[in-house]
Amino acid sequence: MADKISIDLTQQEQLLLHIRTMVTSATQLSTKLKEGVDGLPALTSKGEVHNRMVGNENQLIRFVTKAQTFQTLTEVIFKHTQTTYSEFIDTDKILAMDIANSILYSSETSAEDKQGIKDDPKGSVDKLKKSIQDENGEIHKNMKGTKSSDIIIGTGGA
Per domain, the residue ranges of the chain are 11-84, 91-151
More confident site: 148 or 21: 21
DSSP-assigned letter for residue 46: S
| pLDDT of 45 | 73
Q: Provide CB contacts within 8 A for 16, sequence distance 6+.
A: 78, 81, 82, 85, 89, 94, 152
Rounded to whole angstroms, the Cα distance separating 137 from 129 reads 10
As a three-state string, the secondary structure of 22-43 is HHHHHHHHHHHHHHHHHHHHHH
More confident site: 155 or 100: 100
Burial class (CB in 10 A: 0-12, 13-18, 19+), 125: buried
Question: Could you tell me the pTM of the whole model?
Answer: 0.77
Helix (H, G, I), strand (E, B) or coil at 70: helix
For the residues 125-129, what does the mean pLDDT come to? 92
| pLDDT of 154 | 67
Band of pLDDT at residue 155, cut at 50, 70 and 90: low
For the residues 9-13, what does the mean pLDDT come to? 93
Band of pLDDT at residue 43, cut at 50, 70 and 90: confident
**pLDDT at residue 115 greater than cutoff 80:** yes
Angle between helices 91-105 and 111-119 (to 10 degrees): 140
Rounded to whole angstroms, the Cα distance separating 18 from 118 reads 22
Check if the beta carbon of residue 88 is closer than 8 Å to that of residue 10: yes
